[in-house]
């Protein structure tokens, strides 16, 4: 089986002006064929996320007219604008909506579901989205809308802003992407208001960002991130938030948006594999966004000098939102408008600066979590997740069922590059179940094709082994194919084990189940609420690659040596020398210094090919 949504890298989609004109021409023909006598441009099958969709198509038609002057478009824009103003603006409170601060305000809002009282919780983001469609249309209205329509549209947008910031609690779903989107809507609206009112709205928008979003950022892997539905980062919504930060900076010029966007971009670059695969997040562990991410990835990838466009998006949504029949849906159309208007080029070459939470060279990458334990390993187009044993997740030595990867003290890192090799040494103090302090030294070396991992720890009792990963997916053209084994070699013994027990808390890679499905099955919350991806943390055991210690190593150490990727016989030897532990393989020689490190306690590493 394949993962259902992570497809091609987003920077592979053509983004020249001509390519975008073809996209708009496609939207135009679909929209003109769909336009009802009443002016409705909604997809016939649309029933939720609907309040902004017709207006989104209208804004795309307005952009198409500004670029092509197609004579068929002005009347369609006017009729569809009238439809939204007449049929899709609500001023009576939606029955059951729980987040009002003012009842009976009479302010306009957009509904997530048109039927009164049907799933009202989605009205806040739907109103944000409708505000963004409206301000885009205001930006494009010249030559299309008369003064009366423009004034009505402006008043509606002003009312949306007041409903979002006065009549309701701000950001009631604790969703960073929705909150930053609302800020963008305020910043864009401000440009269409009288100067004094516009300045007040602009100041309010920036204050909301500073006080309600930025002040509540969550730390992960050394970065401060906008919180998303109960988590620090979501692989669908995180890049969407990045696009909102890009638009906020484009519109306002405020440096705070550039600074925070660059921080998110560097974070994403560190956690993202060379092949663009990533997983994890409170709502959409593997359901990556498409066109909604392009603006942020392109804008901030260029600013920080990183190839963020390698991100594997859902290219079925590569141009715009679609329904199952492939027909255009106006949902999130503002992102397509913005990415067409922005001319920032893709930055396509990797950053060469060492990054604490990543090792990357050629087709090999290791992403590390906040504990400096690998969260994702990629080698030769194969991707491995942290395995699970006895409810413990990670990569590291296991003794008597206890995984030694959770640090008890400072984790230190040393990066070295020489010739065609790149290496990272991670040293961390850990405590065994019986309270004995051990020093785990993990060396990762790559030549861009293969990855060698060496783990050394003071001699362990019993029959220790190295938990070396859960084989998960491999590249298969523009798809990711589920796997249950991987090309891995060990200088000691090697085995692949599968859970012997059954149940949702046991993940067998041979089954047709994805990580996301398993996470949501184990979650306390349904998808879309809380942080259902926490369910993955309840996994008891998984398929795992396990390596035994290398025979003939130093008497006082257990040393494990594993190679990921293709190659002939794997050879590795280890010996104490005056400078530390010498590691010799068929591709390199490394010397890992004493666990105490240098005079500052920092790890010592030398490497040669």
Q: Which residue has the higher pLDDT, 597 or 114?
A: 114
Q: In the prediction, which pLDDT does 45 show? A: 95
Cβ–Cβ contacts within 10 Å for residue 17, how many? 10
Q: In the prediction, which pLDDT does 606 show? A: 96
Q: In the prediction, which pLDDT does 458 show? A: 96
**pLDDT per residue as tens digits for the range 81-94:** 999 999 999 999 99
Average pLDDT over residues 127-141: 98
**pLDDT per residue as tens digits for the range 187-214:** 999 999 999 999 999 999 999 999 999 9
> With 90 as the cut, is the pLDDT of residue 144 above it?
yes
Q: In the prediction, which pLDDT does 288 show? A: 87
Pseudo-torsion of CA 489, 492, 496, 502, nearest 10°?
Answer: -150
Q: In the prediction, which pLDDT does 542 show? A: 98
**pLDDT per residue as tens digits for the range 430-453:** 999 999 999 999 999 999 999 999
**pLDDT per residue as tens digits for the range 468-515:** 999 999 999 889 999 999 999 999 999 999 999 999 999 999 999 999
Core vs surface per residue 490-507: b (16+ CB within 10 A) or e? bbbebebeebeeeebbbb
Q: In the prediction, which pLDDT does 87 show? A: 98
> With 80 as the cut, is the pLDDT of residue 529 above it?
no
Q: In the prediction, which pLDDT does 503 show? A: 95
Q: What percent of the chain has pLDDT over 70?
A: 100
Q: Which residue has the tokens 């498409």?
A: 290
**pLDDT per residue as tens digits for the range 2-33:** 998 889 999 999 999 999 999 999 999 999 99
pLDDT category of residue 126 using cuts at 50, 70 and 90: very high
Q: Determine phi and psi for 140, rounding to 5 degrees.
A: -105, 10
Look up residue 167 and give its two tokens: 């009549």
**pLDDT per residue as tens digits for the range 291-329:** 999 999 999 999 999 999 999 999 999 999 999 999 999
> With 80 as the cut, is the pLDDT of residue 532 above it?
no
Task: Give helix then strand counts, H and E, for the chain.
Answer: 12, 29
* Dist. CA 571–CA 257, nearest whole Å: 50
pLDDT category of residue 286 using cuts at 50, 70 and 90: confident
Average pLDDT over residues 519-538: 84
Residue (of 497, 391, 403, 523) closest to 455 by Cα position: 403
- In 117-263, beta strands by DSSP E: 218-220, 223-225
Q: In the prediction, which pLDDT does 274 show? A: 96
pLDDT category of residue 232 using cuts at 50, 70 and 90: confident
Cβ proximity of 532 and 526 under 8 Å:
yes
Q: What percent of the chain has pLDDT over 90?
A: 90
Name the strand (E) or helix (H) holding 248: helix 237-252
**pLDDT per residue as tens digits for the range 43-65:** 999 999 999 999 999 999 999 99
Q: In the prediction, which pLDDT does 36 show? A: 98
Q: In the prediction, which pLDDT does 483 show? A: 97
Average pLDDT over residues 578-587: 94
Q: In the prediction, which pLDDT does 400 show? A: 95
pLDDT category of residue 168 using cuts at 50, 70 and 90: very high
Average pLDDT over residues 116-133: 97
Average pLDDT over residues 426-430: 97
Q: Determine phi and psi for 396, rounding to 5 degrees.
A: 160, 175
Q: In the prediction, which pLDDT does 287 show? A: 82
Q: In the prediction, which pLDDT does 246 show? A: 98
Q: In the prediction, which pLDDT does 478 show? A: 87
Between strands 402-403 and 396-399, the pairing is antiparallel
């Amino acid at each position: 089986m394949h993962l259902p949504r992570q497809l091609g890298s987003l920077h592979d989609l053509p983004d020249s002006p001509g390519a975008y004109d073809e996209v708009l021409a496609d939207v135009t023909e679909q929209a003109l064929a769909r336009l009802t006598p009443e002016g409705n441009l909604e997809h016939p099958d649309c029933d939720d996320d609907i309040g902004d969709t017709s207006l989104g198509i209208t804004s795309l038609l307005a952009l198409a007219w500004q670029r092509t002057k197609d004579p068929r478009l002005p009347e369609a824009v006017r009729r569809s604008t009238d439809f939204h103003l007449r049929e899709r603006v609500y001023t009576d409170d939606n029955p059951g909506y729980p987040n009002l601060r003012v009842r009976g305000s009479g302010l306009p809002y957009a509904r997530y579901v048109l039927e009164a009282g049907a799933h009202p919780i989605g009205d806040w983001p739907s109103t944000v989205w409708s505000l963004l469609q409206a301000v885009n249309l205001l930006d494009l209205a010249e030559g299309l809308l008369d003064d009366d329509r423009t004034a009505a549209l402006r008043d509606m947008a002003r009312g949306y802003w007041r409903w979002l910031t006065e009549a309701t609690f701000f950001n009631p779903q604790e969703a960073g992407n929705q909150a930053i989107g609302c800020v963008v809507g305020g910043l864009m609206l401000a440009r269409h208001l009288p100067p004094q009112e516009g300045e007040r709205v602009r100041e309010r928008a920036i204050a909301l960002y500073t006080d309600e979003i930025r002040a509540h950022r969550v730390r992960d892997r050394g970065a401060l991130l906008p919180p998303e539905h109960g988590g620090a980062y979501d692989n669908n919504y995180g890049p969407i938030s990045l696009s909102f930060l890009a638009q906020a900076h484009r519109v306002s010029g405020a440096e705070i948006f550039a600074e925070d966007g660059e921080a998110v971009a560097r974070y994403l670059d560190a956690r993202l594999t060379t092949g663009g695969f990533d997983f994890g997040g409170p709502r959409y562990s593997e359901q990556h966004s498409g066109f909604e991410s392009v603006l942020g990835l392109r804008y901030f990838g260029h600013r920080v000098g990183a190839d963020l466009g390698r991100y594997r998006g859902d290219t079925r949504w590569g141009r715009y939102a679609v329904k199952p029949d492939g027909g255009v849906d106006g949902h999130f159309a503002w992102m397509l408008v913005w990415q067409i208007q922005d001319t920032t080029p893709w930055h396509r070459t990797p950053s060469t600066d060492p990054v604490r939470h990543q090792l990357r060279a050629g087709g090999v990458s290791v992403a590390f979590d906040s504990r400096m334990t690998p969260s994702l390993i990629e080698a030769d187009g194969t991707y491995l997740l942290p395995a699970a044993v006895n409810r413990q997740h990670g990569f590291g030595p296991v003794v008597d069922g206890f995984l030694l990867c959770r640090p008890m003290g400072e984790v230190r890192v040393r990066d070295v590059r020489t010739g065609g090799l790149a290496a990272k040494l991670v040293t961390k103090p850990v405590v065994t179940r019986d309270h004995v302090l051990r020093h785990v030294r993990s060396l990762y070396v790559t030549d861009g094709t293969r990855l060698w991992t060496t783990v050394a720890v003071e001699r362990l009792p019993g029959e220790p082994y190295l938990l070396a990963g859960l084989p998960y997916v491999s590249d298969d053209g523009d798809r990711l194919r589920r796997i249950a084994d991987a090309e891995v070699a060990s200088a000691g013994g090697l085995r692949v084990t599968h859970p012997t027990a059954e149940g949702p808390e046991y993940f067998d890679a041979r089954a047709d189940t994805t990580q996301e499905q398993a996470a949501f099955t184990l979650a306390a919350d349904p998808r879309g609420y809380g942080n259902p991806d926490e369910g993955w943390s309840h996994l008891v055991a998984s398929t795992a690659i396990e390596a035994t210690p290398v025979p003939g190593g130093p008497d006082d150490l257990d040393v494990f040596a594993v190679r990921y990727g293709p190659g002939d016989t794997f050879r590795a030897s280890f010996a104490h020398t005056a400078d530390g532990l010498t590691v010799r393989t068929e591709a390199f020689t490394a010397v890992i210094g004493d666990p105490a490190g240098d005079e500052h306690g920092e790890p010592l590493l030398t490497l040669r090919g």
